[in-house]
Amino acid sequence: MKSIPSRWVVFSTLLTLTLLLPLGVIIYNALGAQSETLAHLKQTVLNRYITNTLLLLCGVGILSFLFGTLGAYFVTFYRFRFAKFFSVVLVLPFLIPSYILGFIYSDLLGFFGPVHMFLQGLGITWYFDVLQMPTVVILLSLALYPYVYLIVRASFAQNSAALLNPALSLKAGYFRIFYKVILPLSRPAIVGGLSLVMMETISEYGLVKYFGVDTLSTAVFTAWFGLGDIYSAAYISSVAMLIVFALLIIERFNRGSARYKSEAMQQPLQKRRAGPVLSIFIVLFLSIPFLFGFLLPFAWIVKYAWIHAGEVIDREYLQIVLQSFSAAAVSAFAVVLIALILGYSARVFQTPYMRYLLKAATLGYSIPGAVIAVGILMLAGLLDTFFIATFSLDGLVLGGSLVLLCFGYCVRFLAVGLNSVESSFEKVGSGVNKASRSLNKSLLQTLLRIDLPLIRGALFAGFILVFIDILKELPATLILRPFNYETLATKTYELAMNEMVQESAIYALSIVAVSIIPILITLRSYR
């Protein structure tokens, strides 16, 4: 074998360090600040914040696992009525941002909303309070389970026939196959999907805040802005990161040294026909996330978008759509490229160093977008001062530019892209890669000729996931954006905050509309 060029590792390290810089700046600024505030927070509220965060993680984790994994399992391994339909629509809840889901359900279920009024019409004067922890758990699960579904389904589709067909032909029981063969086989994908869900849950801000659930991410803001203590804010952020790390480590220990990958050639899967009872169960089960995660909120959005369409569709609107689309596309491309470089280096150089490097690179995903944005602002401030002094310019180079926004998206969403890359590499196995290199092909050649074609589908799926995530991103966009710059997300939010939730529907609808086509194309490529 050729001597291994370590520039891949060096380059990966540089990329990761760049992505971690904003977090580093925050921590650096935190050093030496007062810690009385921290003692105060520990004494008074921190325990509750941690408990709430853990409860939320458990609830959302369990529900997302159920909807995501079982959904993927049913549509992949069973033939039943509407199977094709469900295999597509189960992704759709992903298109509706969680904060919009929150606005919609508080509009529907809040006091004097349609549901309460309907009950009153029936003579039932019973008020229930929708602003509660359980509502948050359900809404977040509905918004996030598609991560698990999409990634697990891709892994089911990519392999498993070779291992499953024997089990199926042996007429092994449903549960046994699921438990003994399918779960272990797709474990990297399930864990990958779930860890995205967990990180997204930890950094969730808008929904939890509106529903009055205090989590670590709301605590960061209380400490930072309410008490003016960046040190405590950094401390709380690191508690959140620790929780994420703990989850990842538990999984690694649990998995032990076993590696689950099939290097077998693909062959068509023999789907099992679901009996009538099972069919009904499956359809009912799959209807829940589809109905409440997509159809109902989407119907709400369409209704009010229709009513208010005339008021908002103008040149400004078209410009906003175009801006959102292009910013998301460019940034998502950057994210996938970085993810590919990192993922490929880790695939070739399977060292613990690379593994930790990759974990570190994804940290941004578990940190609230606003915190990352502020770190980037500080960093840009330093760099701009340097540029201006060095090149005697008379304005900001980075500050308020789209470069910052794009960088912010990369820091925040690398985890999503990397996840797709990593789990698909794990599925493919490293045999082909080694074979190619033994034929004296360079690493780059191997990547372009062998690996890239193999994981093309997963890469595209990763791109789409990141693209939609960016389209929905709110807090970092608000802080980092240039003058007079609106995206669909910022506009939806602004209208909703001005108590014009219904008027915001057209923008929410546009988010769904812009993302629905690419996601349908992605799904087709998995057939």
List of residues contacting another protein (CB under 8 A): 40-41, 43-45, 106, 110-113, 116-117, 127, 129, 131-132, 209-212, 214, 218, 221-222, 224-228, 370, 373-374, 377-378, 380-382, 384-385, 388, 393-397, 399-401, 478-479, 481-485, 490, 494, 497-499, 502
Strands 272-273 and 78-79 come out as: parallel
CB neighbours of residue 7 within 10 Å: 10
Closer residue to another protein in complex, CB, 33/378:
378
Give residues with Cβ within 8 angstroms of 218, minimum separation 6.
49, 205, 208, 209
Q: How far is the CB of 117 from another protein (least distance, A)?
A: 6
Q: What CA–CA distances, in Å, run from 456 to 225, 330, 421?
A: 44, 18, 9
What CA–CA distance (Å, rounded) separates 388 from 499?
A: 42
Q: How far is the CB of 380 from another protein (least distance, A)?
A: 7
First-to-final CA distance of the chain: 37
Closer residue to another protein in complex, CB, 173/226:
226
Closer residue to another protein in complex, CB, 422/473:
473
Give residues with Cβ within 8 angstroms of 502, minimum separation 6.
107, 304, 307, 308
What CA–CA distance (Å, rounded) separates 500 from 498?
A: 5
Q: How far is the CB of 210 from another protein (least distance, A)?
A: 7
Residue whose entry in the numeric block shows the structure tokens 């219904």: 502
Q: How far is the CB of 44 from another protein (least distance, A)?
A: 4
Q: What is the CA radius of gyration of the chain?
A: 24
- Backbone phi, then psi, for 144, in 5-degree steps? -110, -20
Q: How far is the CB of 19 from another protein (least distance, A)?
A: 19
Give yes or no for a contact between 150 and 461, defined as CB atoms under 8 angstroms apart. Answer: yes
Q: How far is the CB of 153 from another protein (least distance, A)?
A: 36
Strand partners, 79: 273
Give yes or no for a contact between 48 and 214, defined as CB atoms under 8 angstroms apart. Answer: yes
Closer residue to another protein in complex, CB, 13/215:
215
Q: Is 78 helix (H, G, I), strand (E, B) or coil?
A: strand
Closer residue to another protein in complex, CB, 35/222:
222
Closer residue to another protein in complex, CB, 120/350:
120
Q: How far is the CB of 464 from another protein (least distance, A)?
A: 28
What CA–CA distance (Å, rounded) separates 93 from 142?
A: 7
Closer residue to another protein in complex, CB, 164/379:
379
Closer residue to another protein in complex, CB, 41/150:
41
Q: In b/e form, how buried is each residue of 370-408, taking b as 16+ CB within 10 angstroms?
A: bbbbbbbbbbbeeebeebeeeeeeeebebbbbbebbbbb
Q: How far is the CB of 125 from another protein (least distance, A)?
A: 9
Q: How far is the CB of 494 from another protein (least distance, A)?
A: 5
194 burial type by CB count under 10 A (0-12 exposed, 13-18 middle, 19+ buried): buried
Write out the two tokens for 1: 């074998």
* CA-CA-CA-CA torsion sign (422, 350, 191, 331): negative
Closer residue to another protein in complex, CB, 248/388:
388
Write out the two tokens for 438: 């033994």
Give yes or no for a contact between 265 and 162, defined as CB atoms under 8 angstroms apart. Answer: yes
Q: How far is the CB of 492 from another protein (least distance, A)?
A: 12
Closer residue to another protein in complex, CB, 97/368:
368
